[in-house]
Amino acid sequence: MKCDNLKFIDLFAGIGGIRLGFESVGWKCVFSSEWDKYAAQTYEANFGERPAGDITQIPPETIPDHDILLGGFPCQPFSIIGDMLGFTDTRGTLFFNIEEILRVKEPKAFMLENVRNLTAHDGGRTFKTIVAHLEALDYHVHHKVLNALDYGVPQKRERIIIVGFKDNVKFQFPEPLRKRARLEDILEDDDKVDKKLFSSKEIRERRLERIKKKHDYPYICHENVGGSVTPHPYSCALRAGASANYLLVNSKRKPSARELLRLQGFPEEYKIILGYGHIKKQTGNSVAVPVIKAVARQMKKALEE
């Protein structure tokens, strides 16, 4: 059975990374929701529609009928970067808004995305609770940690992907690509990058002093909490709230706004309408688009078979 015209909703939409992934298989977005006004501005500029606001204030009955529910629900309650409060954090309870929409609208399938640490939070009990709630709604649930580095972008970004189907379809997560993307394919020439993104001489020298291993160029390095600096032929995970000098290209400068989008696999025609600080936060909160595209293809294949 062909599944070319399915409808999906895009919850916690951010700047539309998940939407891009599922539009790539021919499916249509019929509703989106995002509470951050700046992310909503970027989303509107690129998709021609303003997302609805806070999902907690939207009755599930008023959401359009859809076949697929999509949501990269807030990860801060489960992230090792945050306080790991889980369901005691108000943002953590947003999962239950997803659960209620699934209960009321009963779509054919869903895909949820979160930080890897969700699987380990509270000794694994939080994740077991989430899966149990989804299965109680009669969904067949699949989950796996996928690394963006394996799917076409030079960024090490591990995220848990949770997929569910009403029917017991044969679903398999996408296999990693055999060849990894290269930094040189996404980096801009230094002379084309805003001079404001270049670090001070002191920061550059301090970084170079702390690199203890041989490395090739280009590279992106970051300084961990212990002060050690490691160069890689890829970027560590982009983070919304990281310090200004967290990631440095060749120990010189911060990645440009376009480079940040490329590290997440956004297309070249994706519009940048806000300043660097906003784009840094928005890409840090976003998804790696090629990962979502690969999952969308597998979901479509499973539904068709």
Output the domain CATH number for residue 116: 3.40.50.150
Strand partners, 249: 220, 253
Nearest to residue 235, comparing CAs of 262, 213, 268? 262
Active-site residues: which are they? 75
Give the single-character DSSP code of 253: B
Structure tokens given for 177: 């690509």
Q: What is the DSSP string of 176-235?
A: PPSS---GGGTPPPGGGS-GGGBPPHHHHHHHHHHB-S---SS-EEEE-TTS-EEEESSB
In a domain, 276, yes or no: no
Does residue 215 sit in the same domain as residue 171?
no
Does residue 246 sit in the same domain as residue 293?
no
Does residue 167 sit in the same domain as residue 192?
no
Among 70-79, 91-100, 245-254, which stretch is predicted with the lowest mean pLDDT?
70-79
Cα dihedral 194→197→200→203 (10° resolution): -150
pLDDT of res. 214: 78
Does residue 128 sit in the same domain as residue 151?
yes
Sign of the C-alpha dihedral computed for residues 107, 6, 8 and 298 taken in this order: positive
Does residue 32 sit in the same domain as residue 118?
yes
Ramachandran quadrant class, 16 (left: phi over 0; alpha: psi -120 to 50; beta: rest): left
Q: Which of 17-31, 124-138, 245-259 has the highest mean pLDDT?
A: 17-31
Residue 140 lies in domain? 7-179+284-304
pLDDT of res. 86: 42
Structural domain total, the chain: 2
pLDDT digit string, tens, across residues 99-152: 999 999 999 999 999 988 888 877 888 888 889 889 999 999 999 999 999 999
